[in-house]
Amino acid sequence: QAKMWSFVAVVIWLKIVHLAMGCPLDIRDYGAKIADPSHPDAFWENNTHAIQAAFSAASLSCHRVLVTGGDYASADLYMTSNVDLTIAQGARIVTAPGNATGALLHIKDCDNATVRGPGTLYGNAERYISGYSPIDDRFEPSSPDGHRPRVILFHNASNIQLLDGLQVRNASDWHVHIQASRNIYIDNIHVEGDWRYPNNDGIDPDSSINVTIVNSYINVADDGICPKVCLDLPKFLSLWIRKNASAHTATMAVLGRLGT
């Protein structure tokens, strides 16, 4: 019995050291499952709960979450304050069509959080198509603009970073919508959408304060970067689009329009 308690004490000690070192919490340890390619939406509900549980646990412990190993179908996830999410190379969190509503990842009422690559948040736009015009070489969406989920939706967020080669791909609507938020820093992300798909804006800063976009690549059919002010929201202040710390040049690699 003494040996058993010694073993338990060692395990607890190792767990404490593990957390103290800031080791990330793997979403698979919370029940997330990689989708079967033949059933890409499999486990979406399970994964939504598992990833959300990892966020909650990380906010109380090591503050880091790791996604690795493959594709994880999911619906609306809500980032937690003081959490650093890393999506590893080759890993994707994928929108589950018909189940996601506002966005794949909500950063709402959230402070001091980071989302890192080089893995992918994937919007699954090809699953929101009702038709195709060969004359226009254009897809027809299955629902109106504004009724399909974004990939990332900020609202009332502050001190948020998107970093380290994060891939934001193939949104069914806007890729990154930054709404009523402040102190948002985007550095070295890759945003890409199908040029045949309408209204797939790259990054839309909306009624926000102090938004910085640097060293990033945006390749979409519609507006590449589209600052705006929506009704009944605060005014827009301080948007910096720059590269290599030069605030006087807009040398971003943007394929698409700089919207107004």
| pLDDT tens per residue across span 190-223 | 999 999 998 899 999 999 999 999 999 999 998 8
Q: Give the CA angle between residues 78, 168, 249 to the nearest 5°.
A: 115
Cβ atoms of 179 and 207 within 8 Å: the answer is: yes
Q: Cα 178 from chain centroid?
A: 11
Which ranges of the chain does DSSP label H, i.e. alpha helix?
A: 2-20, 44-59
- Please classify residue 16 by burial: count the beta carbons closer than 10 Å to its beta carbon, then call 0-12 exposed, 13-18 middle and 19+ buried: exposed
Sequence-ordered alpha helix ranges (H) in 21-115: 44-59
Which tokens belong to 25? 């919490």
Peptide bond connecting 40 to the previous residue in cis, omega within 30 degrees of 0: no
CB 54 within 8 A of CB 25: yes
CB 241 within 8 A of CB 203: no
The answer to pTM > 0.75 is yes
β-pair partners for 131: 140
Residue 175 in contact with residue 197, Cβ under 8 Å? no
8 A C-beta contact, residue 191 and residue 245: no
Q: Which residues of the chain have pLDDT under 70?
A: 1-22, 231, 243-260
d(CA 79, CA 235): 25
- The angle at the Cα of 85, spanning 82 to 87, to the nearest 5 degrees, equals 175
Angstrom distance (rounded) from CA 202 to CA 162: 14
112-137: burial string, b at 16+ Cβ within 10 Å, e else: ebbbbbbbbbbbbbebbeeeeeeeee
Nearest-angstrom CA–CA distance, 96 and 104: 8
Q: How far apart are CA 167 and CA 190, in angstroms?
A: 5
